[in-house]
Amino acid sequence: MSTTGSNPGTFSFESTHSLAPSAQGLGRDGRRYGRTGLIHTPHGDIQTPAFIPVATQAAMKAVLPEQMKDLGAQALLSNAFHLFERPGEDVIDQAGGLGKFMGWAGPTFTDSGGFQVLSLGAGFKKTLAMDVTGMKSDEVIAEGKERLAFVDEDGVTFKSPLNGSEHRFSAEISMGIQHKIGADIMFAFDELTTLMNTRGYQEQSVERTFRWAKRCVAEHQRLTAERAGKPYQALYGVVQGANYEDLRRKAASEIASLEFDGVGIGGAIEKRLLGQTCAWICDEMPEERPRHILGIAAVDDIFAGVENGGDTFDCVSPARCGRNGAVFTRDGRWNIKRTQFRRDFSPIEADCDCYTCQHYTRAYVCHLLHAHELNGYTLATIHNERFFVRLLDEIRASISGGYFDDYKRETLARFYAHGSKG
C-alpha cells in the first residue's frame, strides 16, 4: 500500500491489489502494472481502475448529473479549453467551482487544452491518429481542415472555432484557467503531436512539453498558495513521445522528476503499442502516483491499459457513439438504428442493469434516434456510459479477486466474437 500527494488529507493515492508478474508481462522483468486502489480527493474517493465519463462543457450531453451518479460514475472530466471559451473560468470560479456549477458533488477532472494543439492545429481527432498512415510530415493537416493553432516555445496561439477570435494558451494561462475552474484533478499543459510528425519534431516536442511542465508546476504552486482557502487541486504531468520507446521513457523520467501528484499518459499511440507504451512509462514512474490514460475507450484498449498500469480512463466515445446509434453490449458494438430493431421489444441488453434497459426497448430507442428526439440521445448515452463504468468495476473486482486473466480472456472473446469495432 502506498500514498502520495503534496497535501495529505486532501489528495492522496493508495494501491490495494496488484497483478502478479508473468512471462507475458510487458514491463521490466515481466512486470504487469495493473492494480486496484483509491484516489482520495476533496470531493470524495475514486475506486480504481475506473472509467471517467467526459462532460466536455460542464455537462454530459442529454444526461443529467443525477443520472450519471445513478449509473455509477465516480467522477467527471471537463475540458478547460471549451470552458474558457464559454462561459469563462471567472463565471465558474464565482459559482464555487466546476462541481457546484454543474450540480455534481463528486470528484472532477479538467484537461489542460493541450489536445486542442492537435485538433485545431492538424485537424485530427485522437481516434484517427491511432493508425499510422500517410507520409511523415510536420506540416500534416487533415483533409478539408484549416490550421487554427500555431505552437511556439512559449505556448500556442489559436483561432476560436466558435467565432474565429484569436487567443493564447501557455503553461501559466492554462494553470490559471484550471485553478479558477476548480477541478480536483487537472493536467499540465502539453503538446500533443500526431504519429505522422517526424522523429526530429517528436524529440523537440517532448523537450518543449517538459519545459512547459516545469512552468506548470511553478505556477500551480504559486496559485495554490495564493488561493489557500480553496480545496487543493492535484496536478498531473503528461507523458508524450508518440511510438518511440526512448522518447516515452525519457519523457516519463523527466515528468517523474517534477513535483506532480500523478501522471497522464497522453498523445497519439498506435493501437498495437498501447499496452507496451504504458509499460515503458510505468517502468520509469514512481508507483505511488496515480496514472490516467487520456482518451481511451475501445474494450481491448481498456484491458491493455489496465493491465499495464492505467488507474483511470476517459473518452467521449461512449456518449458520441450512443448519439449516433452505436450501442455497446457484452456481445459487441452494433447499431440500434438498423431496421431489424424497429419491432424488437426487448431491452438493448438482457442482463444490463442500466435505467434504459430496465425501462425501455430496442424498438423505442430505435424510433427516438430516427426521429431525432433528444430522449433517444439520453437513453443511448446512459446505456453506453453504464457499459464502460461497469466494465471497469468488473475489471477492478477481477484484480482484487485474483481472476483478471480469466475475466479478460472471456470478456474479449465474447465481445469480439462477431467482429465488433469496439
Residue among 322, 281, 396 nearest 63 (CA): 322
Query: Is 43 a known ligand-binding residue?
Result: no
Query: Is 113 a known ligand-binding residue?
Result: yes
Question: Does the annotation count 344 as an active-site position?
Answer: no
Question: Does the annotation count 351 as an active-site position?
Answer: no
Residue among 50, 47, 46, 17 nearest 32 (CA): 17
Cα distances from 103 to residues 58, 64, 67, 108, 349, in angstroms, run 9, 9, 11, 11, 30
Query: Is 282 a known ligand-binding residue?
Result: no
Query: Is 5 a known ligand-binding residue?
Result: no
Pick the catalytic residue from 111, 184, 301, 311.
111
Query: Is 366 a known ligand-binding residue?
Result: no
Show the cell assigned to 102.
454543474
Query: Is 112 a known ligand-binding residue?
Result: yes
Pick the catalytic residue from 261, 283, 311, 314.
314
Query: Is 179 a known ligand-binding residue?
Result: no
Cα separation, 17 vs 87, in Å, equals 41
Q: How many residues does the chain have?
A: 422
Query: Is 352 a known ligand-binding residue?
Result: yes
Query: Is 310 a known ligand-binding residue?
Result: no
Q: Give yes or no for a contact between 402 and 374, defined as CB atoms under 8 angstroms apart.
A: no
Rg (C-alpha) for the chain, rounded Å, is 21
Query: Is 420 a known ligand-binding residue?
Result: no
Each residue of 216-245: b (16+ CB within 10 Å) or e? bbebbeebbeeeeebbbbbbbbbbbbbbbe
**C-alpha triplet 293, 67, 12: angle, nearest 5°:** 40
What residues are labeled active site? 111, 314
Binding residues for substrate: 111-115, 190, 240, 267
Q: Residues forming the annotated binding site for Zn(2+)?
A: 352, 354, 357, 383
Residues of the binding site: 111-115, 190, 240, 267, 352, 354, 357, 383
